Structure 1
Amino acid sequence: MRRSLQYKRTDDPIDDDANDTIHVVNAQGHADEEAQLLRTEELEFEDNELLARGLQTRPRPRGLWGFLCGPEPPRVQAIRPYFPALQRSPIKLLEARRLNKPISLIIVLLLWFLIFTWFLAAQLPIRNDDNDSVLNLDCVDTLWRRKNECGVNGIDCRPFSNQSFAFRCPAKCSDVKLLNPHFVGPLEVNYRPLVIGTGQYRGDSFICGSAIHAGILNDRKGGCGRVSLLGDHDNFASTKHHGIESIAFDSYFPLSFAIAFDDSFRCSSDPRSALLPVSLLFTAALAIFTTSPKIFFPIFVLIFAHVSFASDPPSASYRNITVLPDHLSMFAKRLLPALFVALVVYSTTVKRTLSGLTAQFDKALFWLGGFWIGALSNYTFDWIPLSRLTAHDLKQQPGAELALAIIILILVVIIAGQVYHFRLEGRLLRYLGLYGLFIFGIIVCLVIPGVNLRIHHYILALLLLPGTSLQTRPSLLYQGILLGLFVNGIARWDFDSILQTSDAIRADARLDSVIPKLLVPTININDGGLVVAFKYGAHPTGVDGISVLVNDVERDRAFYDDGLDGAWSNFEWTRPVDTTGPNEYFRWAYHAVFLTAAALAPSLVPRQELSGKMCPAIPVCPRWDACVATATNGARFQMKCLTDFNGQVIESAQATHFVDCADACSHYPGCLAFNMKDGFCYLIGSNTGSARTATVVNAGVQIKAATHSDPIHGSTTCSAGFDCPDNDGCLYATNDKKFYAHCNYDYYGGDLAIRGTDNLTACTDICATYAGCVVVTWMNGMCYLKGPNTNLVYNTLVDSAYMMSSG
């Protein structure tokens, strides 16, 4: 049975706002568990009617309105600390030593500032032995600029070779991914790092991501290296190293680069790892050793500075020698308006939650802990597949819609709990009115023509923060997380507008513009080689020009005002009459048009002549649906365009061509079908499942078993060295050790060291003398020495060798 309540004033100060509080006590003078603290200093939407009527109870309305009004008298929520003596001990310690003075806070903040700036000194400019400045790169910086900004033939991105420079990258670049579809030859890639190649990378690859993939940088600490421009290169291989899976490209590109260590200068690590415990320690001390809710402001500034300079700093100017001036400028620009918002949030929400709270460790654990969880959202929430809350992004990002549905479900549960406690305090109706205004404002934004509503996470935090103005442990956690999300959003991205045009949201995504009309090309052979002539049809209204990209490089521009009299001119492309030359990929405007192998490489034919519809070297869907390809062991596979088998995946392989996926499946025991997507083959066993219609997945199914088995490893010897794939499985002896060739396979993981060699044989010779090396993988001049902890992945661009077991 609940005890009767009476109200009385108390003069026992809890904090600097204690004189603005009323305590609810029972007849014996003990605070009631559910009604301890009733605030009198609130904004207009707070419920002060009880105090205004002299704390008189009122008749409770009946029906739904009475239910929404809550109990009478209101049951104000307050946290009763566990182990109250322990939780009050930090405050008593300061009082006993007379340290509860403003000067103590100033000394603590000054000490934090000195330590913080000392760690940031690692970002000052550095020079190498040649007195050249080391350039700072952002995680998305490339040598080849995006959106065709390099001009025709890449003229604005020269030089392509004979240049090098030292660079420094921040930490956590492996998590930076493409957020819009990006074409790499025949592939459309998205939501992955743009790293193309292995050892030698395509010019439009992320430099920092490539350095991590090459093993030059540590993703957790960042670091330095040297980029060397190597000019034209073809056949960029795909491998997975150090957490990044690179993208394959089977043709040429005018700019490539390699990355190596640079020992000519001392490179400091990214300070974020060292600064995190420092900032955590000082903010925890402020939360534990103070009771005033105004401590919110120094904690807010400390965490804002940590995000701005350490954990998630904004992008700096391109190729600068130090990021500090840019970061200081943006910090000052964003902090002042953020503090104004913080003042409003404090007055309406934080002050009510923290006033009178004596559970110091609860405050540090739930409120401050939640604050850090939100502020470090680029770490804590990065695993959630949600990048931007727009309809376009939700549809194109895998798992985004499901993740959003789960988040909404969690929010519904949380909101239900908060609504219950607001009702107990008699404030539910006022807050329902407040959120009604929020919803009305959102609806108004949705109907404004010409712009799109974009709810940034800092906006979401501001919308939900009023619903946490309760003194309960869950509210402490929710409020802390939302404050952290606000800080992270502003410190990293600034006050981005909630109303944006379609162009601003699209950024570098496809425009979905009208597709150019192409007539059937003509192919001729003359003394200069093979000439392909493309004729364009009449252009649509409103179009002024057309751009032609070959292998993702702009090669020609034509404009209607060039005197073409209503029709576009021809575009001619010449290439050598070479039966083994690389494929070439053409794109007009923003639409990918891939010619079949017969158009530009007539010598590329199926591996074996078969009756019926034969797959070319690179079959294009849906034109080549149901074509047949033959693997090297005689197995035959039929192509199923826009099909996804939902059977159990038993293994994966790296390959970009249908016949190579078929080869991988034919050599894997039990594989009867496969799905192809983004340069990977997903091998499926005997239970292929149902064939589902897909938009970006093609499949293959076995229609004839292999006619001959793979060679038994060790059945032949190759004393002069390996020559893949001709002597696959042969035995090679070097330095009293024996190795088997394993052509077209990559032993992923277990990397010990990387060396540059001319061939697989030389790579194996090094392994025979390298301690712990039992496997080698060789690709494009790069030799990867590996230990025993590896995974076998089929890859037609890679050859390997493994040591014969001593047993």
Structure 2
Amino acid sequence: MVSSDSEFVISDDIELHRIVKSRSNSLQESAERESQFSELSNGGPLSSPKSKVKAFLEGLWHGPAHPVDGPPEIKSPYARQFENFPYRISSSFPTKIKLPFIILYYAFWLVILQQALSSYLTEQPTYQDEASGKSMDIISISCRGESSIWKGKNQRCGLAGAKCAPFDNREVVLRCPALCDSESITYSSIPVGDQNIKYRSFTIGGGRAETPENDVLSYPYRADSYPCGAAVHAGLVSPFFGGCAKIRFVGPQPEFPAKDGSIGFDSFFPASYQFVKTPKCHNCYDPRVLVAFINILLGLPVIYMSTNGSLAFWTVCISGFWTIILTFDPPLVVKAQDPESLATLISLGFERLLPLCFILYVVWKAACQTTLSRPSSPICKALIWYPLFWVGMLNNVTFDRLPVDRLTITDILTQPGSIFATLGIVAIIAVGVVVQAYHLWKAGKFRMYFKLYLGFIGALVVLGNLSGLNLRIHHYILALLLIPGTNTKGMTAMLFQGVLLGLLVNGVSRWGLASIEETDRSLRRSDPSGEIKPPEFLGYERSNSSVSWQIRERDNPIMINGEFISPHDKLNRYSLIVNDVEWYNGPNSSVSLEALAAENDRFAELLGYASDHSQEQKLYLRVGRAGGTRRSDYTNAAVLKYPSGEFVPPKSGLTK
């Protein structure tokens, strides 16, 4: 029987023979280049400036006469003991002994994960109701908006918010996932009064109560605030481990002052909630940090002990993939009440895993095999390549925390701090490209990769100029573009390749194989499109407390979101938003606030907040065109001081 160590020796001899043979054909060419350089140094016929430049460019293009591409060198004698340990162990035991041990290790790994994950994914979270003593279900929600709490902006809750009632005497216990400190940010604009909120945690008012009364733990939050983001803001749910919180709806409030970084709103809203004392709960805490730690820890011996590289490569990639899918950044929220919830998530995982495996095989052959296979440095793989792989893998707590949403001009100019962050990223990539290009040159591979990247650049230029489409370099695409250039064995390949491979696996597992070309409509999210113009405010008439508007222009039949419509014929009604809730939907282009109050007791009550205050209250008015479930864009908010009647027209621009 041939030992595995012997196999590696034979393999290394064959590889060495191949390298020597491939290089022997270029000895004459190298000798000629050396002769030219010698003549240059001796003042020979090639010593003219033009000849010097030509010789330099030829040396740059062809690379060194004796290419060098070796693994990082470990000089410490103590470190060398750790460097050689995996190879000694591998050569000491035959495959029939090593294989069962590896299988047992993976089985142990899976059992540990099953114990950590099973209850969170499969068991319904519950709490003990103090009044009845019964076990009650807890609602599992995401970090962002939840339709069972508030259905959405503008008309989503229906006229006067009726679809989101009741606004008081209602209590809900929620289970929030981890990382809601950053994932409760809104990435499309949401109007709050005369503000357009984007790239901020959507929590309005609230804050931890300084002197809690009875069981109340927070000040009122506006009801459309993201509940889990608000729970983190109030200090009731851990951003690292999630948790459960109980909210109580407490009806309308006259204002929602900003506190501890929340959004302020200086007028009334028909619904609000407070956090109250949470009952004793079961199965509340999110294990994603624990699961990630387990996978990182148990993957470390694999990356260190694997001598052929491929076992380590596939192990860390597959474990990282399922870490993202099931726990750390799942594309779906698993709700134990839904028997198909977990099955749907696993199905989605396999949908993305199979094409990813093909991509990983190509990546392995193109670059990772060179870096990770013997001869290599087990210490550098374990202490440099592997940690950086998880830096890229856990992208939602590393790079996603940077103020960079998407690499599009609009997003970069809109998001605060995005320009400087983007310039920093570009600078780091540029430095990395130059450094790795030098190592490719030393390895004699510069010509091949120079041609390859010229092809990449040409393809991107063509894709970037396709009519009606936007070039989108998702982070998994960026990794695919840059990983081939890490096809060396040195320290720089360890540095760059690990983080790029992590970004690749993370991007496909979380978002799938998103297209490199996207339409304007797909990039817009729920921001205003400008396709159907809203009416224009004319002003406020104090004598009859009426606000009026007119259509700016007659619209010709056009294609809107793939449907051919005539806006003026089909959007023949108007939608009036007062303080971010729809209060009027009808054919009139003038509406009396007093008449609305006479027809709607809730609106009358809210206007009472304004008239009863010692200071007059601001009303934020926005108008749009309506027809059935369709809406045009809305205007920005006009500000009406009530009851004095001072009217400030809206700023230019649109809301959605």
Q: TM-score, normalised by structure 1?
A: 0.65
Query: Per-residue CA shift, 1:556-611, capped at 9, x if unaligned?
Result: 3357xxxxxxxx6433332558263532101123454444555x3318xxxxxxxx
Match of 2:199 in 1: 191
CA displacement at 1:321 relative to structure 2: 5.8
2:579 maps to which residue? 551
Q: Which amino acid aligns with 2:63?
A: G
Counterpart in the other structure of 1:803: none
Q: Aligned pair in 2 of structure 1 residues 210, 555: CA closer, same or farther (>3 Å)?
A: same
Q: CA deviation at 1:278?
A: 1.2
Q: How does 1:548-587 map to 2 (within 5 A)?
A: 548-558=576-586, 569-574=589-594, 578=611, 580=613, 582-587=617-622
1:311 partner letter:
F
Residue 289 of structure 2 is matched in structure 1 by: 273
The answer as to 2:158 corresponding to 1:144 is no
Give yes or no for contact 1:15–1:356 (8 Å, CA) kept in 2: no
The 1:303/1:16 distance shift into structure 2, 3 A limit, reads farther
What is the alpha-carbon root mean square deviation over aligned residues? 3.0
Change (3 A) 1:234 1:94: farther
Q: Percent identity over the alignment?
A: 28
8 Å Cα contact 1:532-1:572 kept in structure 2: yes
CA deviation map 1:647-674 (0-9, x unaligned) = xxxxxxxxxxxxxxxxxxxxxxxxxxxx
Q: Residue by residue, what CA displacement relative to the aligned partner does 1:476-518 show, whole Å, maximum 9, x if unpaired?
A: 1110000111111112111111111111111012224535222
**Corresponding residue for 1:127?**
126
How far residue 325 of structure 1 moved from its aligned partner, in angstroms, is 3.4
| Alpha-carbon distance in 2 for matches of 1:582, 1:277 | 52
Task: For residue 97 of structure 1, report the CA deviation from its aligned partner.
Answer: 6.5
1:385 is paired with a residue of what secondary structure? coil
User: Can you list the C-alpha shifts for 1:199-229, whole angstroms capped at 9, x where unaligned?
Assistant: 2211211110111222321222100122323
Match of residue 161 from structure 1: 168
Tell me the alpha carbon deviations over residues 610-648 of structure 1, each in whole angstroms, 9 at most, x when there is no partner.
xxxxxx8x988999xxxxxxxxxxxxxxxxxxxxxxxxx
Q: In the superposition, relative to structure 1, how do residues 53 and 248 fare at CA in structure 2: closer, same or farther (>3 Å)?
A: closer
Task: Give the 5 Å matches for 1:88-487.
Answer: 88-93=84-89, 95-96=91-92, 101-123=98-120, 124-129=123-128, 130-142=134-146, 143-147=149-153, 148-176=155-183, 177-198=185-206, 199-240=219-260, 245-295=261-311, 296-316=313-333, 324-487=342-505
CA separation in 2, counterparts of 1:15 and 1:500?
52
The answer on whether the counterparts of 1:371 and 1:481 sit within 8 Å (CA) in structure 2 is yes
Cα deviation for residue 356 of structure 1 reads: 1.3
What is the distance in 2 between the residues matched to 1:12 and 1:393? 57
- The count of corresponding residues between Structure 1 and Structure 2 is 562
Cα pair 1:519 1:535 within 8 Å, conserved: yes
* SS of residue paired to 2:453: helix
Q: Is the 8 A contact 2:253 2:270 kept in 1?
A: yes
Tell me the amino acid that sits aligned with residue 108 of structure 1: Y
Of structures 1 and 2, the one with the larger relative CO (CA 8 A, separation 6+) is 2
Give the C-alpha shift of residue 555 in structure 1.
2.5
Letter in 2 for 1:520: G
Q: Is the 8 A contact 2:247 2:275 kept in 1?
A: yes
Work out the CA distance in 2 between the residues paired with 1:520 and 1:319. Answer: 52
Distance 1:267 1:231 in 2: 30
Moved segments of 4+, more than 6 Å: 97-100, 618-623
Structure 1, unmatched stretches of 5+, are 1-10, 24-36, 41-47, 526-530, 560-567, 604-615, 624-694, 696-807
TM-score, length basis structure 2: 0.79
- Asked whether the 8 Å contact 1:374–1:481 carries over to 2, the reply is yes
- The DSSP-based 3-state class of the residue aligned with 1:239 is coil
Instruction: Encode CA deviations 1:57-115: one digit per residue, 9 max, x unaligned.
Output: 13146642442110123223333334322211244246546686122221111111111
2-structure distance, mates of 1:118, 1:229:
37
Structure 1 residue 39: Cα displacement = 9.2
* Contact persistence 2:636–2:650 (CA under 8 A): no
Instruction: Work out whether residues 585 and 594 of structure 1, in 8 Å CA contact, stay in contact via their aligned partners in 2.
Output: yes
Ranges in structure 2 where 5+ consecutive residues have no aligned partner: 34-53, 129-133, 207-218, 557-566, 598-606, 625-632
Question: Could you say which residue in structure 2 is the equivalent of 1:775?
Answer: none
Q: Which has the larger share of strand?
A: 1
- Give matches, 1:542-691, under 5 Å: 542=556, 543-544=567-568, 545=571, 546-558=574-586, 569-574=589-594, 578=611, 580=613, 582-589=617-624, 590-598=633-641, 600-602=642-644
Residue aligning to 1:87: 83
> How many Å apart are 1:14 and its aligned residue?
5.8
Amino acid at match of 1:277: F
The structure richer in helix per residue is 2
* Distance in 2, Cα, partners of 1:437 & 1:558: 58
CA deviation digits over 1:516-550, x for unaligned, max 9? 2222332324xxxxx31313135431434343211
Change over 3 Å in CA distance of 1:77–1:571 after alignment to 2: farther
